[in-house]
Amino acid sequence: MKAVQGKLVPGKNGSRGAKWIADSNSDYAKSLAKSWGKKGRECKVTIKVKKGTTQWLKDNGVLFDVIGDEKSVAKNVIFKSTEPGAMGIGADLLEEFNSRITGMSYATKNAKMRTMEIAI
């Protein structure tokens, strides 16, 4: 995931792929925590969102098992039955998701948490 100035941004070269996040209370997020600090997992980003965002994510959801290609559903949030709690925010929904962010913080394995506050 790439975040700039407290917002999620598209990947390299205008990638249409989804930006993957996880519900911090999910088993999936807990399994990711075990690999924190290893290659590809050097940074942890915590996003705070407005009330109602969880429902908005669900309302825009599609099941990855049915679609099979995340780029074809850029206007949706992707859920995977094999990774409960993981959500892929489609490229066309990034602006709307970003408008729901109220705060963001990040930490590296060997550094204390840093906060990026967003004025709403």
Which residue type is seen at 6?
Answer: G
* 78 and 61 Cβ atoms separated by less than 8 Å: yes
Question: What pLDDT sits at residue 37?
Answer: 65
Q: What percent of the chain has pLDDT over 70?
A: 78
Q: How far apart are CA 68 and CA 57, in angstroms?
A: 19
Asked whether residue 119 carries a pLDDT value surpassing 60, the answer given is no
Which residue has tokens 């049915």?
66
Query: Got the DSSP string for 5-61?
Result: TTEE---GGG--SPEEEE-TTSHHHHHHHHTTTSTT--EEEEEEE-TTHHHHHHHTE
pTM, two decimals, is: 0.78
